[in-house]
Chain A
Amino acid sequence: MKNEMTAMILAGGQGTRLGVLTKQTAKPAVPFGGKYRIIDFALSNCANSNVNNVGVVTQYQPLELNNHIGKGDAWGLNSRNGGATILQPYSSSDGEKWFKGTANAIYQNISYIDSLSPEYVLILSGDHIYKMDYSKMLDFHKENNASLTVGVIPVDYKEASRFGIMNTDQGHRIIEFEEKPAEPKSNLASMGIYIFTWPTLRRYLVEDQAKERKLEDFGHDVIPAYLANGEDCFAYSFNGYWKDVGTIESLWEANMEMIDPNHPLNQTKDSWRIYSNTPISPAQFFTETANVRNSMVVDGCYVAGEVNHSILSQDVRVGMESTVKDSVIMSDVTIGENVQIEYAIIGEGAHIADGASVIGEPDEIAVVGYNETIGGPKNDGEE
């Protein structure tokens, strides 16, 4: 079968704004929505869009991503002609291949893409929460005979100066690109989703490498170069839910939004499932003292306390007389008895001892790191 389009997911972001949650985990591997990791959305979108070859480009803390993605079996990408491949920097005879930017990361992996000889390359970011059919964007790209199509989403005008803004003509042709403009002329923000006609992009990257070596980043360097050379660049407008979860607050907020059963991503229909690679745990077990409302709960949970407007991920235990409100509890967390948790994100494997509390505010979410212990005998007498 011909390989029309190959996806490259840029999962390299260290995500320093997520603090302790990304200290030892790449941002795309951060758990989300009870049973997913952030990158599951991009991977599932690929699988559901019939993009069967996915290169995952990473350089920080690759272990967890490697474990999670493997060969892509969990996303149905394990066919003879497809699969997920983790692409990491390595040192070769012509020097170390540490990625200098998004475009440079693609340049460093030209041989991988060449081995698949696709006509188009889909460039994605691994840290956005959304559901999108890339095959429709590819149709749009082909209809316009474009060499570049950029996925854009309309944002509030007052927010627009935070994004890369595309100014287009009536035919969706990009005529101008402004990175974080003070006075935006449009509200079409780049989603960091690009379809490139591969031979053209390849030529740009190879020629640049031989001469100036300036094309390091897609937004900063490649798109302006394409526009300056009169390449056919188009904006593909996406109107669904899309969220960048780069900060603690946005991560918490996106999780809270997922709780709503009418949320566009929290669907229970089969047509556009989000897949993930999760171990198997028994079904949820609630005791007679449990009280769970307006919340999402996953396999392996044991609940004897009160849970309100929260997400309990796999294998979470909530003891008697404990209250969890407006919080995200990641997997394998043990919450003892008489514990209060509010406006918090509790990292995987954390232990909240009997009587302890973790209380944040809506605009200042409390965060407990992975495998951290809060309260218990160790802390006695500290107050």
Chain B
Amino acid sequence: MVKNKLAAIINLTEDNQSLRPLTNNRPIAALPFAGRYRIIDFVLSSISYAGIDSVALFIGDSGRSIYDHIRSGSEWDLQSSIGGGVFTFSQQNWKHRYRIEEEHEDYYYNHRIYLQRSHSDYVFVSGSSIISNNNLLAVTQQHVASGADITMIYKSQSAFEDRGEEDLVDEALILDEEGRFKDIVPFEEVLNDEKIHSSLGKYIISTQTLLDLIDRATAEQVYMNINELIHFYLMDYSVNTYEYTGYAANIDTIGAYYSANMEMLSRSKFTSLFHGSIPVLTKTKHGAPTYYDENSNAREVIVGTDSYIGGTVERSVLNRRVTVGEGAQVSDSIILQGTKIGENAEIRYAIIDKNTVIEPGAKIIGTPDNLIVIGKGSHINA
């Protein structure tokens, strides 16, 4: 038996209203990122690296885009025919909306079944909107050594860092001088602190503690997502903290989605996220190499494979299978896969969702304060 066997529960039901229209038909976890990944790839890669072979996904709606991406889970080594696998529980939002008394009894039924069958000592619990690349083996090791009930992963930022206004979450951790957890408070209370410690909403907890917590919630009729539930009861347990020092971003608004993609154009942030010890894995696509035309001009860009670049592209992130026609100009924008940009078209400060067709000569001009978002499969005329 593997020592300290780990299971994982990922909750994909974050509120995605402020990411519409990008989230009209997909959860935040399925949003494309950095030219070829989906946001869920980061948490799945952390899970894979830790040798976790079984993961439960609690999905808000139908989950089609998630199933299509993850399939058997083989890219993350989750396809094991012995015990492991990807276990999906969809329509969680529906369950939330229709709070019928008698159904409450089994609100945590699937969580319990999953935990009992995983035969693991510890569980990694996470949401899906925060991008980070965590070494869960190290976190678990430290959790076991601490003897605490719950270990919470956090990231420290100095209050005046350039991205200070984009807080990772609404609440901050208060730590004592030795870095021990004292309290969790609303962000406003720590705004003037030299350092702000944000929870990444990611925890390591023993399976037994989590089951106890679920029992308590059932008795007290507290019904919420499992990561929120841990947070809800946090102060009643002994809490250990683990500082994550790599890149992190919380994709909760269009602005946050845009700036996290743009931050990847910084070589140090890109390297921190992609070239650390944990490889970021995603679904393989058999695309041809990207072709750069003799008149192309691509600078400060991230580009996926199978694209054709005939025009000028600057300070932008282009996903797979994007066509940029000759004479077209794309700057400060995110172009998602399969989009075709016609000749001499102009795109600035925009997010163009999948499979959009932009006619030759068409213009989509936003500003840093007013990003233009074009929904999936649109057709933009000149």
Contact = CB atoms under 8 A, between A and B. Distances in A.
A298 B294 CA distance: 17
Interface string B301-329: 11111101000000001010100000000
B75 A280 contact: yes
Interface stretch (A101-109, A267-275, A351-359): A267-275
Contacts of A275: 286
A274 B288 CA distance: 8
B231 to A, nearest CB: 32
A286 B298 contact: yes
B88 interface: no
Interface stretch (A20-28, A91-99, A153-161, A289-297): A289-297
B168 interface: no
Given A286-B298, A286-B301, A286-B303, A35 B35 contact: no
B306 to A, nearest CB: 6
Given A35-B289, A280-B279, A294 B294 contact: yes
Contact of A288 (B279, B287, B299, B321): B299
A211 to B, nearest CB: 47
B97 interface: no
Nearest to B294: A294
A276 B287 CA distance: 10
**Most chain-A CB neighbours within 10 Å: which of B274, B289, B300, B303?**
B289
A184 interface: no
A282 B35 contact: yes
Given A261-B308, A292-B296, A284 B35 contact: yes
A297 B290 contact: yes
A33 interface: yes
A294 B305 CA distance: 15
Interface residues on A, range: 35 or more
Interface string A25-44: 00000000111000000000
A345 B322 CA distance: 29
A289 B284 CA distance: 30
Given A274-B286, A280-B279, A285-B270, A293 B303 contact: no
Nearest to B283: A280
Interface of A: 33-35, 74, 259, 261, 266-268, 273-276, 278, 280, 282-299, 307, 311
A266 B284 contact: no
Interface residues of B, number: 39
Contacts of B296: 292-293
Nearest to B265: A285
B293 interface: yes
A284 B303 contact: yes
A289 B295 CA distance: 16
A284 B267 contact: no
B281 A280 contact: yes
Contact of A282 (B75, B270, B287, B289): B270
**Most chain-B CB neighbours within 10 Å: which of A33, A267, A273, A284?**
A284
Contact of A283 (B267, B299, B304): B304
B308 A290 contact: no
Given A280-B282, A284-B35, A288-B300, 16 more contacts: A33-B289, A259-B291, A268-B287, A268-B308, A282-B34, A283-B319, A284-B290, A284-B302, A286-B303, A292-B292, A293-B292, A293-B295, A294-B292, A294-B294, A296-B289, A299-B305
**Most chain-B CB neighbours within 10 Å: which of A261, A266, A268, A282?**
A282
A307 to B, nearest CB: 8
A321 to B, nearest CB: 15
The B interface is mostly helix, strand or loop, or mixed, namely loop
A282 B291 contact: no
B300 A287 contact: yes
Nearest to B275: A282
B318 to A, nearest CB: 8
25 contacts: A34-B289, A268-B287, A268-B308, A278-B284, A280-B281, A282-B36, A282-B270, A282-B302, A283-B305, A283-B317, A284-B35, A284-B305, A285-B302, A286-B298, A286-B301, A286-B302, A288-B299, A289-B299, A290-B298, A291-B299, A294-B294, A296-B289, A297-B292, A298-B290, A299-B36
B280 interface: yes
A290 B294 CA distance: 14
Nearest to A299: B305
Nearest to B288: A268
A291 B293 CA distance: 11
A293 B299 CA distance: 12
Contacts of B300: 286-288
Contacts of B306: 268
B299 A280 contact: no
A275 B287 CA distance: 8
A120 to B, nearest CB: 27
**Most chain-A CB neighbours within 10 Å: which of B75, B279, B317, B319?**
B279
Interface in B1-49: 34-37
